[in-house]
Structure formats: structure tokens, C-alpha cells
Amino acid sequence: MEPRLCAFHEVFRSPVRNVDPSLPLAGVPIAVKRGERRSHREALTALGCVPIGLTTTPDGSTPWQTWGRNSRGVTRNPWNPDRTPGGSSAGSAVAVAAGVVPLATGVDGAGSIRIPAAWCGVLGLKTTSSERAAVGVFTRDVDLLATYLGVSGTGEPTAVWSNDLGFAEVDDEQVEIAWRAAAPLRPRPVPLVLRDPAEDWYAHRCGPNPALDELFETTDLLLTPATPGPPHGHDGPGARVNTALTWAFNLSGHPAISIPAGFDSAGLPVGLQAVARHGREADLVAAARAVLGTTSPPLASIG
């Protein structure tokens, strides 16, 4: 896989050993996003995880963190090396999609976990946060995700559906594939119209969103496509705003997940986004169980 996919910035020579076998994630190897908060990594090692390396992220010359080069070159999508895996948690998504590790960490500031999860065909969850950026993880295993969160995620949450949140331009194929994947949750379409969060995001204005607060009075989950389009090439996204469907929930602090929904006509993964009430990550796990059943998404074919 390496150096072709360029998922790792650094691989540790001597991972931690002598893990307490009674810990819930004892001995589980994980990849850690470069530059991530130390507290999140320490929380995972306290659960028994063993970090094996730091994953790649776009460098400072990249104007949009959903693509870009890094100190080792270009991180490539394992389903098609000519396409980006998304970002900024690029290497973490690739490491999980290619089967190198069962769990990897990420930080989601505008969609930086959910976008690469969607484009690499894995689960990617960001947690509830009072700040714009939230920690989270990538995995292909719903049970592993539940253990990380300390929840069962076995309920039957109610759900509503929006194609575009009332403002985004979303490809028809992304909508159709995500809608089909959402069928086990029996979502009810709603005429939701959110304000485009771009202005608030650039102004760092975080806080309650009255439209979402009202919506979550009557449902457990809001479902949408995870991205407005498929992964683009390594020359960048052009005029498209890849974060259009994700960054509103960074400002509002709601937990959200991208669930593998299937593949488009070019054989590239598509994600289904589920958003839950604050502190209700268990409903996101339940949504993933409903969509995926007892199977895990396929490993990437490595281009």
C-alpha cells in the first residue's frame, strides 16, 4: 500500500506493548491523525488501543482541506488513485478503507471526517462538540464504533430526510444512492431550509440553530447525502464546496456520521450522512446498524 497511497506520515517503530487484556479495546491497532489533540489519543490508549503511526493531512499550501499534497506527496483514494480521498483526515480514512487498521482517529472541523469517510467507503463519526472542530474516528466495524463510544446503539431511531438542506447543489446520483441506503430507517422527507452556513463558518460563529432545534423536537435523526458530489481529482475541487452538507453541524455542535451507502456509476463510494441530537451518538450507531445490517463495508480494491 505504501508509498503508493501515502496514508502515513510516520510509522512508529516500537508500538506500546503489555496492554491490559481486560480493557474494552485491548490490543486494537489504530492510526492517529497527525496534529490531533493529545487528549483524544490518550483516551483511546486508555481503552487499550495501540497507536501504530501518524496519518497524512494536507499541508498549509492547500486552500481547501478536502484535498491536497502533504510532506510525502499526494494521499490517494484507494478505490481510484487518480481521485482524492478527501480531507483533512485523509490518511486515516485511507488506512481504514485499505484494511491497514480497524480504527483511526480524525478531527472534523467542517466535514474533515465525514467527507473522507464517504469518499473512501467507511464509517466516519464526529462527536458532539461545543467547538467548531470535533474529534471522532473511522472504522468499518459498527461494533467497534459502539465500543469506542461506550454505547450499544441497538435502538430504532426515527428519521427525516433532506436532499440538500434547502440550499446546497447536490448531484442527483449522490441523492439517489444515499436515499436508497436510508430505506431501512424509513425516513420521512421534510421541507427543511437551513441558511447556508458559509458566512457563519468563516466568522467562527458557533451556537444553537433554531431550525435544527425545532426539527429535533420531532425526530431522532436527520439524513442527507454526505457530499454534494463524488471525489474529484488531485487538482482540486474547482468551484464546488465539498463541505456544503456537513459544516452546518460543526457550527451547531450536533454529532454526525457518514455511513457507506454504495457506489456510483464510476465505482466510487457514496456516503449517507446521519445527524443526531446533542449527546445522542447512540442513535448514529443505531442508524449504521440499520443501514449496514450485520455486514461491514467492503475493503478498498486499492485502485
pLDDT digits over 4-15, tens only?
899 999 999 876
Q: What gap in Å lies between CA 175 and CA 272, rounded to an integer?
A: 9
Cell output for 99: 484494511
Q: Which of 92, 112, 252, 258 is catalytic?
A: 112
Q: 3-state class of 70 per DSSP?
A: strand
61 is catalytic: no
Residue 303 has a pLDDT of 58
126 is catalytic: no
Q: What is the DSSP letter of 184?
A: G
Q: Which of 33, 89, 129, 162 is catalytic?
A: 33
β-strands 134-139, 123-126 pairing: antiparallel
The domain made up of 8-149 is a member of CATH 3.90.1300.10: yes
Q: What gap in Å lies between CA 289 and CA 270, rounded to an integer?
A: 17
pLDDT digits over 90-124, tens only?
999 999 999 999 999 999 999 999 999 999 999 99
Q: What gap in Å lies between CA 244 and CA 247, rounded to an integer?
A: 6
Residue 37 has a pLDDT of 86
Could you say which residues of the chain have pLDDT below 70?
15-17, 303
112 is catalytic: yes
Q: Which of 88, 89, 129, 162 is catalytic?
A: 88
Cell output for 238: 474547482
Q: Which sequence spans correspond to the domains of the chain? A: 8-149, 159-292
| 26, 48, 49, 50, 165 from 22: Cα distances, Å | 7, 8, 12, 14, 44
Element (H, E) at 30: strand 29-33
Q: What is the pTM of this model?
A: 0.97
